[in-house]
Structure 1
């Protein structure tokens, strides 16, 4: 089986984790928690970084530190993983679903303003499959209506966006807060884990406090809690793995980009296949290689998935529309025709960092034969 996306373990993971085991620093204290935060914020070029247990908790923290809660609305795409949306309800707010672009699969900024009301407090752009949301016009909207931007940059780690002033900024560092997941299939992994980044020192400090049960250690080592916090701490042993992964991130990004180049070259002339579009002002990390199976391909997307499975190739359909799922079907939304179309036609192909060129050839040959 050619897997969809599995982690690459090739650096200091064993060495750093063994040190945690040898020294008994396996829980939430230990040097690797601080090191991972420090090195990650340096890589991402952000002033603050806070490790969490997963990406969901990072988004939850972001909403909480920004004061978003009961009676507030947050605009978010319906085409995303559910973790982008669930935290909105965790804090008592309501999601408002916006459509995506046909050729990039990310939030359609032209459809955001019509959904803004006096209840709107934030927007969560999701850099889906490594494709960047067009952030400059989104920032203009946020400033016009005094809204927060929380980037779900999980799938965009390593992608970059060129601002109007010519400066390239990494995904997650453009809005007020950026959030990441380090699940096993992500560009870098800690097995399970996440990160919140921000340039606002006060927000960063508050997030760190809330993530560790809002715990204050007094002079006699007693614990005092000055707020209602969460147990969102990342254990030292996971941070050790994250640090080792981060040391190889540029190599991983280069591999993903090369995989995408080969895929593009082999698939671009097949009738009935639409490849994603890269904006002029973005550099994509190509976390998952994505394309759309059009009506004139000859088989449906789901028929293709079954044929690929018969050839021992793992694929995955695009995320299904959240606004059609039972817990969310009654929330406000715009016209989501593109989201619903892509949900029926979009497919992700094998995209592991360690994917071999001959495996890409096999995937593409099977598609050509079909």
Structure 2
């Protein structure tokens, strides 16, 4: 069994992917070819924003957003410690300081009620992470940001395709940033990512930053990075968009089915708030004796993963930004979360097998 069944997805889309990739090989515009602008237009329309800027990865998306906002030394950015390192990594790379705020224990997203207390005169932005495919409480976060004159960058690496109060993830704040890493809800076959915004000036800044700060060829108007998304990867995303609506429907249905099948077991499940959905980049549960349960599932042929086993403020690279005892909900979640196989091509028979093995392991 595959943890994420990319082979089945490719089998369903093989012809479209090959046609798209062959077109790139024929025209030979491997950098900034026509598929780049085509993908950006399609994604901007899907999210409902004026601008989509494709970039080399989800990490580059976050870094370029921070750079476009001119966030740097002396500035602070509020984020969560319960996320992949890229969220805090980019803040540090920009020269700013990450300020960690604890999570909601039932969603694992940043607790908006704790953000205001973390704001200081040095705060420039808030970076919520839409973890596991569910958007954080963006209405509350945006309200706090507006009151204090702060930017909001949604780290939506795991939530492209999700909705919040009827609006798409990535189109809810100053910047939305997503990843097209192969395992994401919408993935390519390498690294890739995108930024979304309605602000024309920020969009222009991001476009310049991704090409080494060039406003025109060899005219460097700002500091930049080599942050372009390859044309071949954009071609893959365009092919995958053909059945993306179906994939989102399947993810929502499979997530609901997991919830129903696990309802009678003595383990906590993530809560999905009534004003949003979850595209289940990872279907994650909380397990007390995780190592033993994970070993039992492995013995039964069920692959699992842990997203994420160590909160960032317990990582050597980021420990200086918060005391060890900070963010207790994040610490507890890191010790208990366990992700089960999940993809749009997961069969109900395999899902039944997963749940039966989990029931036996517990």
In structure 1, distance between residues paired with 2:44 and 2:243: 15
Offset from partner CA, 1:240-297 (integer Å, 9 cap, x none): 11111122211110111121122111111012x1111111111221221111124xxx
Contact 2:132 2:278 in 1 (8 A): no
Q: Give the superposition deviation at 1:107.
A: 0.4
After TM superposition, the structure 1 = structure 2 runs for residues 1-370 of structure 1, keeping only pairs within 5 Å, are: 1-4=1-4, 6=6, 8-9=9-10, 10-11=12-13, 12-25=16-29, 27-162=30-165, 168-191=166-189, 192-217=191-216, 223-271=218-266, 273-294=267-288, 300-319=289-308, 320-332=310-322, 335-370=326-361
What is the Cα deviation at residue 136 of structure 1?
Answer: 1.3
Relative distance call for 1:310 and 1:337 in structure 2 (3 A) is: same
Q: Please state whether the residue corresponding to 2:106 is helix, strand or coil.
A: coil
> How many Å apart are 1:209 and its aligned residue?
1.1
1:29 Cα offset (Å): 2.7
Could you tell me which runs of 5 or more consecutive residues in structure 2 were left unpaired when the two chains were aligned. Answer: none
Task: Tell me how far apart the structure 1 counterparts of residues 243 and 211 of structure 2 sit (CA, whole Å).
Answer: 28
Q: Distance in 2 between matches of 1:321 and 1:43?
A: 33
Counterpart Cα distance in 2 of 1:2 and 1:189: 16
CA contact (8 A) 1:73 1:93 kept: yes
Say which SS state the counterpart of residue 354 (structure 2) adopts.
helix
Distance 1:365 1:61 in 2: 45
Q: 1:4–1:316: 8 Å Cα contact kept in structure 2?
A: no
Distance 1:150 1:238, change over 3 A: same
Q: What count of residue pairs does the alignment treat as equivalent?
A: 354
Q: Deviations over 1:171-226 (max 9, x none)?
A: 11111000000001011112210000001011011101111123344xxxx63222
Alpha-carbon distance in structure 2 between the residues aligned to 1:215 and 1:138: 33
How well do the aligned residues superpose, as a CA RMSD in angstroms?
Answer: 1.5
Which string of whole-angstrom CA distances, capped at 9 and with x for unpartnered residues, describes residues 122-147 of structure 1?
11000000122111111111111111
SS in 2 for 1:244: helix
Provide the C-alpha distance between the structure 2 equivalents of 1:276 and 1:29, rounded to a whole number of angstroms.
Answer: 40
Q: Describe the superposition over 1:13-66 as per-residue Cα deviations: whole angstroms up to 9, x where unpaired.
A: 1110011112222x2131100000000000111110000010000000000011
CA separation of 1:208/1:103 partners in 2, compared to 1, >3 Å: closer, same or farther?
same
Q: Distance in 2 between matches of 1:279 and 1:247?
A: 29
Task: Give yes or no for contact 1:40–1:246 (8 Å, CA) kept in 2.
Answer: no
CA contact (8 A) 1:101 1:338 kept: yes
CA contact (8 A) 1:61 1:207 kept: yes
Distance 1:280 1:262 in 2: 17
Q: Distance in 1 between matches of 2:311 and 2:147?
A: 29
Q: Secondary structure at the match of 1:95?
A: strand
TM-score (norm 2): 0.94
Which deviates the most, 330-339 or 29-38?
330-339
Q: SS of 2:154's equivalent?
A: strand
Q: Secondary structure at the match of 1:252?
A: helix
Give the corresponding residue for 1:297: none
Assess, with a 3 A threshold, how the Cα gap between structure 1 residues 2 and 234 changes in structure 2: closer, same or farther: closer
**Partner SS, residue 174 of structure 1:** coil
Give the secondary structure class of the aligned counterpart of 2:321: coil
4+ aligned runs moved over 6 Å, structure 1: none
**1:165 matched residue in structure 2:** none
